[in-house]
Amino acid sequence: GATALVAVLNHFSKGLPDVSRLRQYEPSETTRIYAANGDLLASLYKENRTWTPYEDISPYVIKAIVAVEDSRFYTHRGVDPVGVARAAFYDIRHQGAHQGASTITMQLARNLFLTPTQNMERKIREMLLALQIEKKFTKDEIIELYLNQIYFGSGAYGIQAASKTYFNKPCKDLTPAEAALLAGLPQAPSEYSPFVDERAAKLRQILVLGRMVDVGFLEWKEYREALTETRNFEFKRHKKKEFQVLKLPYFTSFVLKQLYERYDEDLLYRGGLKIYTTVEPDLQLKSEQIVHDMVAADSRAIHVDNAAMVCIENKTGFIRAMVGGTKWTEKNQFNRAWQARRQPGSSFKVFVYTTAIEAGYSPDTIIPDTEVTYRVSPTETWTPKNSDHGYLGPIPMWKALMLSRNVVAVKLLTMVGADRVIEYAYKMGIREKLHPHLSLALGAVEVSVLEMASAYSVLPNGGIRVQPTAIKKILDSNGIVIEDHTFPKQEEVLSETTAALMIEMMKRVVESGTGTKAQLPGREVAGKTGTTDDFRDAWFVGFTPEFTSAVWVGNDDNSKMWHSYGGDLPARIWSRCMAAALKGMPATRFGDVVEGKKGILMCNDSKRRANSRCPNTYKEYFAPGQIPDFCRMHGQDTTTNQLPAPPPSNVGDDDNLPTEAGSPEDAIPSGEDPLAIPQPTDPNWPGPPPDSLPSPNWDSDSDPLGQPQDPLSQPNDPLDNPPIPQEVPMPDSTPGKGTEL
């Protein structure tokens, strides 16, 4: 008989898994995504589980589970002979298999290593595995494995998830009454779930409490207190979900998109990662409310239905808020902040001006705002128009940007080269494909709100690009760092001087140009407006020393708004969102002293360097070699011996904030046709920057706009000796798209 028993055991022992592998056991754990302040944003799981060590589990839970599942757990060695005999007697008496006699260790073996098939072979293998587990693990280790592995219903795997699911508290804080309810669930999670049948759950709980008293784990006083507590339990139905977004879905959906691109789905849903993001919940919620309320308030007046906003912290690249629309719903989860591609209008002019400054032009370089016609093909010409269909004559670059003059932007594009504008746009953060059309100067491209915010942030960073990120750090289930973007990678893409000069020009846009509604009292703000042809898109993109934000307003179906300018609703949304971001922060300045830049007092009348007699002055910033002569309008200055000069002709400002005229989508001059060289019709073709500046490095092989004559190489100033233009037809209007304010 003994020989036969040994033979049977040897037979069933073949192929058993090695239980020592439990030392390396890694159960499926829930991945959690957190906001910057530690708030939980989302949970990802196949099995909602958080591994919890033995010492962090309430002793009442351990007592309750032992009392109801295996009261002789601490005295047997994996198999309970008394329990087996009792179960066998019961089954014989009732002529069937009704009692399993499975100990906690046997249940653990079954859950981890065996199939749920009920037959004698599985039961024997279960016992053999239990005996092996007891030899290699302590009772406390077995309890820890068991309580972290078993299913408690409602999507909760393990005691920690169960405690959070049913009582919203850590399992170490569970009371006897709460522990008893949870201990009663594993036998039949669906039947005893308080979300399904609260009465059945409480009856099962009382049974567990009684077993705890029977085996000496609970005093009668504690039992009565637990019964009183039970009467006050209230449970709300819980809907099981594999993925559950808890907060801030516009931002969280963007984080998930990045995670899906970087990691395998199994790791995300089973790996127990801890993902710390950059979003500030208060700012996010406030920004969502601002966007919703302000679009709703103007929806009828200007026929608008949506908007998007992104706020980036300049020094870190952290995305602090992302609003992808007026409202996130089950049926409308499109995130316009990064999924939509819209035309930026004149907000793209910043890249044209930045390229010009990098090439050696200065804010005071004079560019004629005068009519010009380009031959864009052997049979077509294009005459860019300003929004007011008028011209201001020769004006400095800073004023042209401040008033968003289209003609000057197009002329600058031809002077510095479209390829170079595209190059700097890419360097600063634009990722969409750009084409070297003349209309590029007016924003006839498609970009995302996130791209624009990222690219503009280079300027307040002093020419340093910081990759925008929504994820600060990722830890694995053991707390080991997988990713860390706390100290982001930086890349210098512009000179510090260029960034400083662009800031000064863009400050004027907000102070007295097209973006005055973006002002923040007591704070320095710089930015640029944008309004596309037919009012299909309106933008304001701007920054303070701390943050850069981009705001887009428009309609999902690309229909026209009614005279909606970038300087109106987008600028107002920007101002309120930025005020929320800066709340509680001291006012700061962009800085008066930057390496390579010098602040000079300028005469407000002559626009030259102020002397001691100039009544109205302002500060302007110049790179070395670009500082202008002293003013001679206000009489000889005894300190400089400068003689007075007649005042310059007055140039009026464009006080209107209009849309801008259209340009042809295919406005690409042919490099083979001599007419492809820009053919100006005005006698004031743009002159060169000062002689002391370096010449732009023209490259005819790569310049798709053709090779304009280098303005720096001309022996005579074209303002004094204008070129004779070739006559070309002058159409009344040229249809196009993408022109903007």
| Cβ within 8 Å of residue 702, ≥6 positions away | 419
Nearest to 402 by CA among 567, 648, 606: 567
* Coil, helix or strand at residue 324: coil
Rounded Cα gap, residues 337 and 553, in angstroms: 11
29, two tokens: 């754990």
Rounded Cα gap, residues 153 and 66, in angstroms: 19
Q: Running DSSP on this structure, what letter comes out for residue 361?
A: -
Q: In what helix (H) or strand (E) does residue 177 lie, and over which residues does it extend?
A: helix 176-183
116, two tokens: 């749920």
Q: Is 154 a catalytic residue?
A: no
Q: Is 69 a catalytic residue?
A: yes
* Given the residues 346, 362, 387, 454, the one annotated as active site: 346
Please check whether residue 133 is in contact with residue 19, taking contact to mean a CB–CB distance below 8 angstroms: yes
| Cβ within 8 Å of residue 16, ≥6 positions away | 113, 125, 128, 129, 132
* Coil, helix or strand at residue 347: helix
Nearest to 642 by CA among 653, 631, 651, 652: 631
Please check whether residue 480 is in contact with residue 465, taking contact to mean a CB–CB distance below 8 angstroms: no
- Amino acid identity, position 496: E
* Given the residues 28, 43, 58, 69, the one annotated as active site: 69
Rounded Cα gap, residues 155 and 157, in angstroms: 6
HSE, CB side, 13 Å, CA atoms: give it for residue 364.
Answer: 20
Please check whether residue 105 is in contact with residue 134, taking contact to mean a CB–CB distance below 8 angstroms: yes
Distances (CA, A) of 689 to 363, 365, 405, 639, 682: 10, 6, 19, 28, 19
Task: Write the burial class of residue 314 (CB in 10 Å: 0-12 exposed, 13-18 middle, 19+ buried).
Answer: buried
| Cβ within 8 Å of residue 543, ≥6 positions away | 314, 456, 457, 459, 460, 525, 526, 527, 549
| Cβ within 8 Å of residue 506, ≥6 positions away | 350, 401, 459, 526, 527, 528, 542
737, two tokens: 């798209």
Q: Enumerate the active-site residues.
A: 69, 346
